[in-house]
Amino acid sequence: MPFISTPIPGLILFEPRIFYDERGYFYESYNQRTWQEADMNAVFVQDNQARSTRGVLRGLHYQVGEMAQAKLVRVLEGEVLDVAVDLRPSSPAYGQWYGVRLSAENKRQLFVPRGFAHGYVVLSDTAEFFYKCDNFYSKAHEGGIRYDDPTLKIDWGFDLAQVIVAEKDLALPPFGEHLPV
């Protein structure tokens, strides 16, 4: 199962091997042994799933302290632009973002390590988004950054005047005023 490095250390794209035949397809979406052999040692404890319509933008979210989370994200239906921002102060990529299209068609997955803010915008009519977390959600430890932060200059591939954003996400602070990870 191929793991593809991104320009940001620790942020890994995963392209599963897919077996097609006249009945459809089969692939292994996750195998703990394969991940461990690749030195990807996250142990996932929680699965989350969200369904959204075109233009919904969720993010940029993260958790801090002992409740920080690594995530393995993928799309079961539709297509999204998935974005991760490096918030690790000691990282050479601190403050950099990476975006990738994840879809039901390409079956790609993105591993987002602890210390990253994460979000996505739905590009298709609807999207079913699924992710594994290596730590449990804790409201007391959640943080976030505005999706339209002028310092980050994220290209969401979508007209931001058209996005649908939760009130909670509109109230998030800009980059530089976020909680330390």
Catalytic residues: 61, 131
Handedness of CA 57, 118, 32, 37 (dihedral sign): positive
**In whole angstroms, what is the distance from residue 69 CA to residue 107 CA?**
22
**In whole angstroms, what is the distance from residue 12 CA to residue 111 CA?**
5
Chain centroid, CA 34 distance in Å: 20
Residue spans of alpha helices (H) in the chain = 32-37, 167-170
Would you state the structure tokens that stand for residue 95, as one six-digit string?
A: 């403050």
